[in-house]
Amino acid sequence: MAKQRSGTPRLEEVAALAGVGRGTVSRVINNAVGVKDSTRRAVERAITELGYVPNQAARSLAARRADAVALAMTETDWRRFGEPFFSEIVCAVSDALAGTDIQLLLTLVRTDAERRRFVEYARAGRIDGVLLMSLHGGDPLPDMLAGLRLPTVLLGRRRGDERVSYVDADNVGGARDAVGHLLARGRTAVAAITGPLDMYVARCRLRGYEEALRRAGRRSGPSWVAEGDFSEESGRRAMAGLLRRHPEIDAVFAASDTMAAGALHVLRASGRRVPEDVAVIGFDDFLLAQHTDPQLTTVRQPVTEIGRAMVRLLLEELGHASGAWRHVVLPTELVLRDSA
């Protein structure tokens, strides 16, 4: 029968019972090589008999690891966090980390003060790496983290020559396919509702729209483009403005499903039938796209795969800190439904 003990067993007690040194116990706990099988078995018996539980915090400190990564969202408008994209990415990242011992910390970094506090938090060794999303152009946070040599992976890019690891969707190609589909179906007056143009993702989707028109020998001036912020309300405002300027519009490409949903409301209120009078295509393929009236034709970006790829890149950087940037661009798919 095991001897009754009081309190939490210590590493030294395990070493004494096994007849080995404290360092040997540490090597067994950390699965280090070079320990005899007989010694390993003796240590494991002592651990079982004493009910010893390794101090994870101490192990992490010894390995200079926090066993935690941060998913930091830099969007300044808190209303954006109600959009489906954010919740889907959080779920995808969380699921990808579920099989590891790494804790996911969710944080908002929206102001200069919050940015400085977050960098100091990271500098203190409280996180091993960072996943960043919703970056606007000129945001210095990725460069500040790079200065700490902290593994960092972005969702999307701030610019075309991004010097940080990132995972992105083929935003140009997806938008080009969407507008090409509208033109192939005989639409001749195609407008666009973009995201905020200080975000690279919005500029890429606008470029895809412009490339499709150019390839078809058609031109579109600034009055055919309205800027939104990826929210449904901005889609309503943009669509209303486009109809005032160009009542002859017969198709709209919206750079997100939520903006497309807002455009559908305005078109219905104005007496336009979708798709008979005006065809509409969105971007994302959230569940929302299947619940609009009519159901939304949209560009599917692989949100789950994006989240998984971000985690994979980060874990690879944590395990093999080479300092090399990794850039992953995943394909999109045009999903045909009733709106176009």
Contact 251, 189 (CB under 8 A): yes
| Greatest C-alpha distance within the chain | 89
Q: Helices in 20-72 by DSSP H: which ranges?
A: 22-29, 37-50, 56-62
Q: CA 194, CA 212: separation in Å to the nearest integer?
A: 15
Q: Quick one: which of 190, 178, 193, 198 has its CA closest to 134?
A: 198
Residue with token string 């010097």: 163
Structure confidence at residue 44 (pLDDT): 85
Give the distance, in angstroms, between the CA of residue 310 and the centroid of all CA atoms in the same chain. Answer: 7
DSSP tag of 76: S
**Residue 164 three-state SS:** coil
Work out whether strand 152-155 and strand 165-169 pair parallel, antiparallel, or are unpaired. parallel
Q: Which element (helix H / strand E) includes 219?
A: none
Contact 226, 191 (CB under 8 A): yes
Q: Quick one: which of 140, 136, 83, 141 has its CA closest to 107?
A: 141
Structure confidence at residue 78 (pLDDT): 61
Q: CA 155, CA 115: separation in Å to the nearest integer?
A: 18
Give the distance, in angstroms, between the CA of residue 6 and the centroid of all CA atoms in the same chain. Answer: 48
Q: CA 285, CA 326: separation in Å to the nearest integer?
A: 26
Q: CA 325, CA 322: separation in Å to the nearest integer?
A: 9
Helices 22-29 + 11-18 axis angle, to 10: 100
**Residue 327 three-state SS:** strand
Q: How many residues does the chain have?
A: 340
**Residue 28 three-state SS:** helix
Spell out the per-residue pLDDT of the chain, length 340, in tens.
344 444 567 778 888 999 988 778 877 776 665 678 888 889 888 888 887 766 554 555 445 677 889 999 887 766 566 677 788 888 999 999 888 888 899 988 988 899 999 999 888 888 999 999 888 888 889 888 888 888 999 999 888 888 889 999 999 999 999 999 999 999 999 999 999 999 999 999 999 999 999 999 987 889 999 999 999 999 999 999 999 999 999 999 999 999 999 999 999 999 999 999 999 999 999 888 999 999 999 999 999 999 999 999 998 888 776 666 789 999 999 999 999 9
Residue with token string 């300027």: 245
Give how far Cα 233 sits from Cα of 114, 257, 260, Å: 28, 12, 10
Residue with token string 């040599």: 149
First to last CA, the chain: 76
Structure confidence at residue 5 (pLDDT): 47
Q: Extract the runs of DSSP E, i.e. beta strands, from 74-158.
A: 103-108, 129-133, 152-155
Q: Quick one: which of 221, 225, 169 has its CA closest to 200?
A: 169
Residue with token string 């003796």: 42
Task: Give the HSE-up count for residue 253: Cα atoms under 13 Å, Cβ half-sphere.
Answer: 35
Structure confidence at residue 322 (pLDDT): 61
For the chain, which domains are there? 11-54 (1.10.260.40), 68-168+304-329 (3.40.50.2300), 171-300 (3.40.50.2300)
**Residue 312 three-state SS:** helix
DSSP tag of 152: E
